[in-house]
Amino acid sequence: MNKIQERRTFVALPLPTSFREQLGEWIKETQKELPFRKWIHPQDIHITLHFLGSTSQEQLEETIQALRRVCQQQVPFELSIDGLGTFGKSDQPRIFWAGVRGQLDELRQLQKKVTTALTPIGFPPESRPYNPHITLARKYTSSDFDRSQLASLHIGNFKWVVDRAVLYETILGQGPMYHEIGTFSFVD
């Protein structure tokens, strides 16, 4: 594969623009309290279904066709934000996230369908179990993180209908850094 023509891609569920804007305001306030190195740009907020990584032009074309087939058979479902948490060391987490609740069976089934459809193209499933979340920030800069701080943070009650998946490309050094390559609507 020619590295010059490869793109760094992933498949995700976008949140409605109004929610991303509200979460952006929440992030502005919260980042004053929690010293994470990188906070997510509001337009980059999403729920990842499958990280693909380096993607050739041929794989990209096959991925678009596979996602079109999967999403043409998917009905919309509801999700909402459910609490806050972290991944990584308890005193110095690497990821700060918002959880999701709602029709999680539908979400997990969609994620499995996407992974199954993309595996033959060269994108095998991750070895870790799927843990749907919305990344808010990365790399806590101190070593004194106290998880009890999360109890005092109120992210709000966001509920939405998931009606499409998006194939994104990551362009490092830009903000926002995730750019839509294709949008795949679900059936009504």
Catalytic residue among 46, 50, 154, 179: 46
Residue type at position 144: D
Catalytic residue among 41, 133, 154, 179: 133
Residue 59 in contact with residue 122, Cβ under 8 Å?
yes
> Measuring CA to CA, how many Å separate 83 from each of 140, 150, 159?
19, 9, 13
Fill in the DSSP letter of residue 28. Answer: H
- Told to judge if 46 belongs to the known catalytic residues of this protein, a careful annotator would answer yes
- In angstroms, rounded to a whole number, what is the distance separating the alpha carbons of residues 2 and 113? 29
**Closest by alpha carbon to 27, among 17, 177, 19?**
19
- Please measure the distance between the N-terminal and C-terminal CA atoms of the chain and give it in whole angstroms: 39
Catalytic residue IDs: 46, 133
